[in-house]
Chain A
């Protein structure tokens, strides 16, 4: 009945503000035509509101809806999943806004707006996005409030809904901490659930790593319990690439076991790795991880693997022994693969390697001579190397002489193999930057790196980083130190941006805390927290009990607030009420219609022996209540005292 009222301009204004605030952050992710469509629809609605026009015909709106649906189908190829879902919701909300005629329509739009605020978190869950979603929720809640309390001023409406959100906040905290957490997904996710995750892939072609070099995104963080290893030992192992087809490097034969194939030795480093999701199983542990790390497995190319691809930010407590000797008894199949080269590629490099092999007495001498030759070639390290043709190694070594780490690693492994020594490419990350604010080591996508491993009889696999020959600063100080000024570096990697880096360090320390405690709050962390506050082995019953108790406690507080304001009533009224109650006990209750003076006269007649004080009290009250001067607290206190002292039989 009430829902069919047509909304006022203020109510519509709030909804327009809420919808704009909710959709604006979505503009980055939505297809551009859809952003334009939504903005247009909102603009039309605003104009109509301004000019008090009528909404367009429903047939027209239906046509736009169908057209937008077809557009979404073309854009995404399907209707299922988060991307088309969010797109459809956005169009639906804007159309609903346009056709709204009644307050009921506004309520429906409000629910859609709430949905889209949750939808924001599909793409990003930074503190900034959280603040935007909160602002959207505040405006949306204000819309609901204005539908009920249309008479209040807009500022008062906003204030009341802010009060409501503030009162909801303690419930949010309690529920967030204590609501039994379930590890999602509940069912198979649509295929686009993990789109947009960046990181290393398991193939390396020229340019694939330099592409990552342009990204400032964080790959993972490591918090060492002790001093971190020196930069030259910070090799974080990713895919190991053995198969070469003349252009791409791919992983070779590898088995997976529950224990590592080496005996860790030397100095140990303990650290907590917080890995950003990259939708791959490898964990990018520091070489070489210790045995018995829970929830992991060991590949025989020394990678540490998770049980499933890492699809959300995950923490691992790890221990590594960089000085361990590995691979002395390497599998013959692996070694055969590590010697194989495709025929008819890079003739000049092949000739060079064969010449070196003919002169050198053993593998160690071959390595030394090849490194010497590479150093003498005057190769340049750059993030934007020229494109290479079929004989990529030849062109890099003898013609262009400019390359990124994948060119150096690829060329070096090619030469070693051509000289008959088993060698392979290892990709991963190298280096990282210590955040001075919280002391954690931050490794970014721009720290992606490719190096090499060479196998010697009796020594096993030995790490060789050919990039270090031409750009030693890359290993010691990172990418920016190794590159010349003319290279296109990410802004914050450029020298001379120290103050900006300082700001960024602080921001990243904050967002690390945010990631660990807010975004990373999962069943494990929930259990840890409860155990720490004194609930050993908490199960759902413990949670339900705690949740019930805290929610009831908060409810009591709210109810106390609801009752409290009553007590803050006028002290003069309270005094008069006490007087009336006192006389009611003596059988002379005040009639509802009786004024203080009439009441006083009647009391004086009922209790003739106390007539004087009774009349004085009534007259004092009447004077204080209805007099020209507002009642001063002193007189009220005096009145209260004379009422207290009044004795009746």
Chain B
């Protein structure tokens, strides 16, 4: 048997399977709408810019830290639920670190159950790691504090209001840049007995063991700068006590002897070069950037809040004059003819905006082209009100 071109000779995709795939592809727009912070911002730089500006707005109260109740699955059992026998064994091995720490919030209770790391310890290949590379795995449990079950991963509610952003962080590295998007390769999730379990998979960061290594869980689909405080002097990351939502933060007890300063620096350089190719001075392979995307990046790089009107057209139907509520939040929603749009609640404390100034609230593009651009903006009117407006590419 020869393997070349064999696939073409084997059974065609049955109509009902093809229709199911088309249905999923048709539904991608819904996924975009619900999770635009992740999906709509095509590259890391812009995704972070948006995440840095758009604050979460969930009302919750303080936290209580304690040991996780025995009711949860063990990390090994969680790995087995995901069909990963090899990882289940790794979680029972000597190198695994049981954590079992719980942090409780009004709405949700978050637990970090354990961590394991090593090369080739999973039944599944890391999607973008070379074979033999060491990978770290962490198992988290999320449940509703009032005991109502978390939505099953197959339900429509899954990933909506109960979407969590779980990520490793490293002391000294800005969490808005060094988080699961740059350090991670993905996660798997399931719900059992009303508890949502997440298996996080990321690069083995034990080479940073001479620093504090954290696992954080906040709400939403991107890093929320308002949830944590990054002390640029000490490099320490801590919960923002003024933050009213979920900002769980666990410290990993990793043996200092795992630290490897040289490998750590190489790792930082590599990730930094991927994030900021123009600053690295080195050629960076980013084959995913098409000509259209490069053109779009170049186009957006020249746009500021001051000159946006010269390049893009304001969509008058999206213009809203907003007055902050007593907690300094503004809320706005908009919809374009193309169907793109959103509904955001924004905490003004986290926006560095002066009277008379206009800020871009990130940008997105349908199809990755200039023609598909949508740029939401906010202007401080100087009289206590703010103007929201979305801009699109017009006939400028």
* Pair from one complex: no
Chain A residues within CB distance 8 Å of chain B: none
